[in-house]
Structure 1
Amino acid sequence: MIILDAAEEMFAELGYSAARIDGIAKASGYNKSMIYQYFGDKLGLYTEVIKRADQISEQATGSTITDFMKNDNLVKDPIVFRLFLEKITKEIYEFLLEHPRHLKILFWEAAEDWKTWNQITYRPDDITQLYELAAAAKKNGIIRQDFDPAMFPILILNMTTATIQAFSRYGNVLGKLDSPQIREQTIEQISKFIIHGVMEPSLL
């Protein structure tokens, strides 16, 4: 949708606080009253932008979670669990690279202490799924006993977003992410970090 595209671009470039409905209306080619009619207010429009990004992400990573969740051995077999970690890390990383505006919105939220994010009523349920999965894996001895399952989804998301952000700063050392080889190496390194950070060492 044109309005959501314009809003996403504005929120990504300026952050929620500085973005203005007037600017979004001008960029989209629609009048301001129509935006208010469809979305209520700026927070309502922002919510729809976040919801759409999450739905696109769900299409990218949802099948991976769903397929692995159907496997009874996921939280029992360390090999299956490790494959899951490699796959979901790769898909989240590639999604963020392919949707840089959503990544910028996440960075704006972090800079503003997530104050706007915590106001919206829409809440993706993938965090809950990942927590429950980690809790079950820990119960079965696959995840380290000194690791808190609540940290599991946080670790995966923060490792991917922070690494992408770091490439802009350390590109002269790390290389450029537009190189397929560099992308694959980076995904592999993140996966290894997560795997060795959460899984029981004796199973590696």
Structure 2
Amino acid sequence: MSQQSRPKKTYDAARTKEIILDAAEEIFAELGFSAARIDAIAQASGYNKSLIYQYFQDKLGLYTEVVKRADQLGDRMLAEMTGELMIDEALTEDANKFRLFLETIIRGSYEFLLGHPRFLKIYAWEAAESWKTWNQIAYRPDDITVFYELAKKAKSNGLLRADLDPYFFPILLMYNVLFSIQSFSRFKGAPDVAVQAADSAQWVVHAREQVVKFIVSGVMEPSLL
């Protein structure tokens, strides 16, 4: 076959980027940002380093895109779960709506992180290293701002505890879920029968609901529960 008649090789850039991001997510989850190497990510993805640099500039740029993709995936999931609640003008005025909203986002976050264990590992690496890499990335997830503004409105309407600083509201929501999930496996060897069945679907639901009750009871005004 002549060179002119040979079919041209085509590349799907979007698909290629997704494959590289999948490989990078796996390596960052297992090794953390500091120990991860572009060579390993290239080998895991099946693409060469030059293509990775072409798409993402450097390791921090690649890490940024991994974080960005995870954040956007989580945002879509929460938007689907909360539906009209998030934009309901009465959300921060009606105790029942606000409680339902909290329960929904806590359950949703819990299920999302269970379904994406690599994200759990990446967050654990960040926490262990005082979030030094996270604070360098250009992409800034705005969860803190959104939930802080909700908390200020809810508190002004008497839905949140009078002694709760709204600044800590999103932190308590997100990280009680995050670190509860990370800690459950530690207690699998305990004598309690329920804990021994920590991998069962029944236990997962039970653990999730315990987290929901703990957070909601901790942040909402007690008289409204």
TM-score by length of 2: 0.87
Residue 30 of structure 2 corresponds to: 13
- Structure 2 matches for 1:1-204, cutoff 5 A? 1-65=18-82, 67-173=84-190, 174-204=195-225
Task: Tell me how far apart the structure 1 counterparts of residues 102 and 188 of structure 2 sit (CA, whole Å).
Answer: 26
Deviates more, 1:101-110 or 1:176-185: 176-185
Task: Tell me how far apart the structure 1 counterparts of residues 146 and 139 of structure 2 sit (CA, whole Å).
Answer: 16
Amino acid at match of 2:90: N
Q: Go from structure 1 to structure 2 and tell me whether the alpha carbon gap of 1:176 and 1:124 turns closer, same or farther (over 3 Å shift).
A: farther
Per-residue Cα deviation, 1:117-160 (whole angstroms, up to 9, x for no partner):
00001011222111111110000001011101111111111111
Task: Tell me how far apart the structure 2 counterparts of residues 148 and 118 of structure 1 sit (CA, whole Å).
Answer: 23
Q: Which runs of 5+ in 2 are unaligned?
A: 1-17
Q: Which has the higher contact order (CA 8 A, sep 6+)?
A: 1
Amino acid at match of 1:160: V
State whether residues 92 and 153 of structure 2, in contact with CA within 8 Å, keep that contact through their aligned partners in structure 1. yes
Q: Which runs of 5+ in 1 are unaligned?
A: none
Q: Shift of the alpha carbon at 1:72?
A: 2.1
TM-score by length of 1: 0.96
Task: Tell me how far apart the structure 2 counterparts of residues 168 and 47 of structure 1 sit (CA, whole Å).
Answer: 29
Q: Shift of the alpha carbon at 1:175?
A: 3.8
Task: Tell me how far apart the structure 2 counterparts of residues 59 and 3 of structure 1 sit (CA, whole Å).
Answer: 22
Q: State the percentage of identical aligned residues.
A: 61
State the superposition RMSD in angstroms.
Answer: 1.2
State whether residues 175 and 182 of structure 1, in contact with CA within 8 Å, keep that contact through their aligned partners in structure 2. no
Q: Shift of the alpha carbon at 1:187?
A: 1.5
